[in-house]
A and B are shown apart, each in its own frame.
Chain A
Amino acid sequence: MARYVKSPDREWLKKRLMGAGICIIAVFAVLLMRLIYLQIIKGEEYRRLSENNCIRLKSIKASRGLIYDRNGKLLVDNRPSFNLKIVTEDTGSVKSTVEKVSRLIDVPKKSLLSGIEKNGTRAFYKPVVLKNNISRDQVAIIEAHKFDLPGIIIDVEPRRHYIYEKSCAHLLGYLGEINKKELQSGRHPDVYSGDSIGRYGVEKKFEKLLHGKRGGRQVEVDADGRIIKVLDTVDPEPGMNLSLTVDLELQQVAESMLENKSGAVVAVDPSNGEVLAMASYPAFDQNDFIGGISGKKWRKLMDDPNKPMTNKAIQGEYPPASTYKIVSTIAALEEDIVDKNTQFFCPGHYRYGNRTYRCWKKWGHGDVDIIKAIERSCDVFFYHVGEKAGVDVLAEYAKGCGLGRKTGIVLDDERSGLVPTTDWKENRFGVPWQGGENLSIAIGQGYNLVTPLQMAMLASAVGNGGVLYKPRVLKHVTDGRDKVVKKGDPEINGGIPAGERTMEVLKKGLLKVVQGSRGTARGIQIKGAPIAGKTGTAQVFSIKDREILDTENLDYFLKDHAWFVCYAPAKDPVIAVSVLVEHGEHGSSTAAPIAKAVVKKCLEKRNLLKAEDE
C-alpha cells in the first residue's frame, strides 16, 4: 500500500526537482547554442543580408477578372501599365532624385511629389507611386539612367481597360482607389492601400469574384534597391472572369440610337429574364475613372442636367403614360368591368363631375372595344375603366405586374417606382383621394412612376404568357482555366395576375398597336416578324425639381417623355424591349424606332427574319 505524502519528503522532492532542473539546463543549452550559431558563426552572413534590408517582400498584384458579353466578346480587360515608383529608404536624397526624374521624363516635380506627401504613414521600404502609367518612351529613358536613380523602380502592373468607350458604362461600372475607411472595415481582406476596387455597376457588385488574390516575391536587393536575386515567388491568383448576359451588338445598336438623346433602353430575354441590353444615355467614359478622375471631368459629369452618372434604366422613375394601359386592360378584364365585346363611344373627351378629361385624339375614336382601345391608345375607353375600377384595384394589378417594387437586379440603387393607392395619398399628403384621379391613373398619368427595367420585365412577362422573371446580368463565372464555377439560373419574381383569356385579348391588342392599320406604332413594322408593343407619351408634370433651367432649354425640359415597350416575335418572343426617351415627345415617333432597331438586330442575329420571309 502506497504511502500518501502529506508534507514533502525532502529527499523525494529533491529528486523530482533535479529532473526538472536538468530539463531546464538542457533547454537553455540548446537555446544558447542556437544563438551562438546564428549570431557568431553565421553572424557575418546575416549581417550582410540585413544591411539595407536585403531580403524584401514585393507584392504582385493579381490581375482583375475579365468581363465578356454573352457571346464571349471581351468588354473589359487589363493592359500592362508601367508605374514609376520610389523606395525612399534606398534613395539618398528624395528631392534630388525626383528632380532628376522630373527632368528626364518632363513631368512637373510637384505632381511627382504629391504621391510621397500623400503617404504620411506607411511601411518601411514600401514603394511609393510617383506616376502611374508612364509611356514606353519614358520607361526607356528611366531604364537608361537606372544607375543614376537609386531607389527608382518601374513596376509593370495590370491596368483596367474598357474596350468600348462609354458602352455598357452604367452596367459595367468603374473602379476607384480604396479609401481608408473601407480598408479598416475589413470587408476587403486582400486589398491594400493604393489598390482599386469596383465602385459602380458590375465591377462593384462582383468585386469579390473579380478581384483575385495577390501574390508576392521574396527578393534580394542591392544597396540601391535593385533586385539581384529572386528567392521565391508565389504567383498571384487572377480574378474570376465574368460572362454577362448582355449582347454587345444589341447594346451598341441601342446606344447608337440614343445618341444625342437622354433616356434608357432595356432589352431582356422573355424566356429567362436575361438582360440582353441595358443602355442609359448620356453615359460616361469608364476609362476616365482609372487612376482617379480629374476634378474638371467629374464636375462636368455632375453638372450635366441630363445626369450621365444616373443609370436611367433602373434609377429613372417616370410616369408610365399609356404603357400603363397594359395594367388597366388586365384589371378591366379580370374584374369583369368590360369583356372583349364591350364598346364605349369616344367623342374625344370624357366628363367627370364638372371637369372634362381629354382623349389624346381631339376629335375622338368613335366606338371602340378594348382591342381597338389598346391599338389606338384611346384614353376615353380607359377613363371608363378607371372610374369603375378605382385606384386601389388598379394598384393591386399594378403590383401583381411587378410595378412599385424593385425587380431585384443585382445593381445598386435600383428604384422601386410608385404605385399610388388611396392610403398612400392620405399618408403622403394628408388629402383624400379624388374620384377624378382614378381616371388619370388608368392611363398612366398621375402619381404612377415606373422604371424602364420594370416595364421591360412587364413586357417580357406578357410576351411569355405571364411569368415575371427576375432580371439577371450574370450568365456565368469562369476561373482562370475556363471552368465554369458559377452559373446564373433563372429566378421567378411572380406571375401576372391574368387568366388565359385576358392574356389573349391583351396580346391581340398589343399586336395591333404595331401591325394594325391604325396602330399607334404601325410605323415600325418589320417584314417577317410581327412585333407587339405599346406606346406612351408621358406629360412632364413638375419642372420644379429641375435645378438647371435656362430659358433656352426651358422648352426642351417641358417636352413629354416618350415610351415604347414591346416584345417580338409576337408569338414565342425572343426579346422584350422597353425604351424611354426623356423629352422625346411622342412614343410612336421617338421611342418606337429605337425599339425597332434593337428588335431587328436581335431577330437578324437569330435568323428569325429570313425564316419567315421564305
Chain B
Amino acid sequence: MDELDPVIHASARLRITATLATLVAGDRLAFPRLQQLLGMTPGNLSTHLRKLEDAGYVEVTKAHQGRSPVTYLSLSSRGRGAFENYTENLKKLLGGTS
C-alpha cells in the first residue's frame, strides 16, 4: 500500500489542491478568488500555499491588473500528478480494490 502524501494529507492543503485541480491545465486562479472559494483567511492560505510551493506542487505567478499586483496560483504538473496519486491511494485504502 502506497503511503498518503503528507504534503497533501492535511485538511487545508487537501482543499487547496482539490480546488486548484478543478482548473483546466494551463489556467491560473487569482489569490483573492481562491481565498473566496475556500473561505480561508489570507494568512492561513499563504502559509499552506508556501508549503505546497516548497514541495513543487503549486506554481505562483505575479501579474499586474492596472496598478495593483495580483498573485495567480496553479498546480504544477508534479502537483497535479501528486493530487491524482493521493486520490487514487485514498480510494484504494477505502475500497481495497484496484
A and B interact: no
